[in-house]
Structure 1
Amino acid sequence: MRLTTERLMLREFAADNWQALHAIESLPEVARYQSFDPRTVAESRAYVQETSQHESDDPRLTYDLAVILRSADRLIGRCGLGITDDDHREAMLWYTLHPDEWGRGFTTEAARAVVDAGFRELRLHRIWADCDPANIASWRVLEKLGMRREGHLRENAWIKGEWVDSLIYAILDREWLPERRRASGSP
C-alpha cells in the first residue's frame, strides 16, 4: 500500500528502515503511552522484518506503513491498520511519530490518509482506536478525524507495572464516506 498526502508519503517499510524507526521508538517519550518499552536495536530490526512479512499475507490483516516527510525524504514515524475482525470488516488504527514532528499536524494527516484507505480501498465498516486518557494529543487526533468516544475502560490494561485506563474511539464507513451517508439515509 502506498498513500500520498500534501506533505507525507505512507508506504511499506524497506528492510533498512529499522534504523530510522529505532531512532523514534527507542525514545522514552515515544514509548511513554505505548504498551512497549523503548525498543532495543534488535527489537527494532525484528519489528521491521516482521512488518514486511505481512505484505504477502493472504488475506492481509496488518497494514503498518512508514510515514515519510516528502520534503526531506525522511522517515518520521509509522501509521497503520490492523484488521481485528475480517468478517465484520473492523480494524484498529495506530500511529507513532518522532517527537520533533509533534504538533505540526503530521499525525492527523497520516491517520486521515490511512482511515480513508481503510474505508475506500479495504472496504472496512468500522475503524477504532484506543489511547491512554492522559495522552491528550492522541485523543485529539482521533477527534479531529471525526471519531466518536465510545467508552472509557477503567484499568483495563497492565502496562509497565501499573493498571491503566483506555479511551475507545471509533468511526463507521457511513460517517466517513459521503456516498455511504446518502445510501444509509443518514444526513
Structure 2
Amino acid sequence: MAPAPRITVVETARLVLTRPHPEDAAAVFAVHGDPETNRYNPHGPMRSAEEGVAFLDSMIEDWERDGIGYCAVAPRADPAGVFGFAGTQLTRRLRPDGIPVFNLYYRFAPIAWGRGLAREAVDATVDLARRTLPTMPIVAVIDAANVPSLTLARRVGFRASDAFVDREGRDVYMLPQDRAADTD
C-alpha cells in the first residue's frame, strides 16, 4: 500500500510547508533530539524515537481537530527533506480563563540556521493563522537567553506581553493585530 500523500499547507520562495506526515518521524526526532536545537528548551532534547512519534502524533491530531497546527518544513527542491517544524497551535495553557490562543512554534536543524529560512516559515505560518482565525491572539513563548529566537520574534513583530503566563517561566510575546514587522 502506498503511503498517504503529503498535504501542502503553503509554499514560499524557498520552502514547502506540509501537514505533518507519519513519514516525518525520523525528522521529528532528528530536530527535537538534537541537544543544540534544544539548548533553551526547559525539557531538553527528546530522549527517544518514541517521544518523537508521540509528538508527531500530537501534531497530526492538532490538524485533524483544529484545521491548523505545526508544519513540517522542507526545501522546495526536496519536499521530503524535512529540516524543521514551524506553525501555530491552539493552546489553552497560557490563559487562566482557558480561552485559546495561537502558540507560534519554530525549531530547525542547524543546517537551516542563519539563512533566513525560519523567518520565511514563520511569516507564512503567521499569515496562515491570521487567515484561519483572524482575531485569535498569536503568542510566542521564549526563554530569555534564547537571543536568536527572540530576535526572530521581534523582527516578525512580536512584543513582550504580560497578558499571558508561561508555567515554565519563559517570557511571552504577542503579535499585535496590525503586525508591524521590522524590515531588516
Instruction: Bin the TM-score by the shorter chain.
Output: 0.7 to 0.9
Are positions 1:176 and 2:179 aligned together? Answer: yes
TM-score normalised by length of structure 1: 0.78
Are positions 1:65 and 2:71 aligned together? Answer: yes
Distance 1:45 1:156, change over 3 A: closer
CA RMSD of aligned residues (A): 2.6
Q: Which residue of 1 aligns with 2:55?
A: 47
Unaligned runs of 5+ in 2: 1-7, 93-97
Distance 1:34 1:110, change over 3 A: same
Distance 1:121 1:61, change over 3 A: closer
Q: Which residue of 1 aligns with 2:64?
A: 56
TM-score normalised by length of structure 2: 0.79
Q: Spell out the pairing of 1:22-171 with structure 2 (5 A cutoff).
A: 22-39=29-46, 40-57=48-65, 60=66, 63-73=69-79, 74-84=81-91, 90-151=101-162, 157=168, 165-171=169-175
Aligned residue type for 1:13: P
Aligned residues with identical type, % of pairs: 25
Indicate the SS of the match to 1:29: coil
Aligned residues: 165
Distance 1:156 1:16, change over 3 A: closer
Structure 1 outlier segments of 4+, above 4 Å:
153-156
Distance 1:88 1:123, change over 3 A: farther
Deviation at 1:92, TM superposition (A): 1.2
Q: Which residue of 1 aligns with 2:18?
A: 11
Indicate the SS of the match to 2:138: strand
Deviation at 1:127, TM superposition (A): 0.7
Aligned residue type for 1:2: V
In 1: Cα distance, 2:53 partner to 2:100 partner: 30
The CA deviation string for residues 97-156 of structure 1, in whole angstroms up to 9 with x for no partner, is 0011111111111111111111122323321111111110000000110111225x9996
Q: Which residue of 1 aligns with 2:3?
A: none
In 2: Cα distance, 1:154 partner to 1:17 partner: 31
In 1: Cα distance, 2:166 partner to 2:121 partner: 29
Unaligned runs of 5+ in 1: 158-164, 178-187
Distance 1:154 1:2, change over 3 A: closer
Deviation at 1:31, TM superposition (A): 1.6
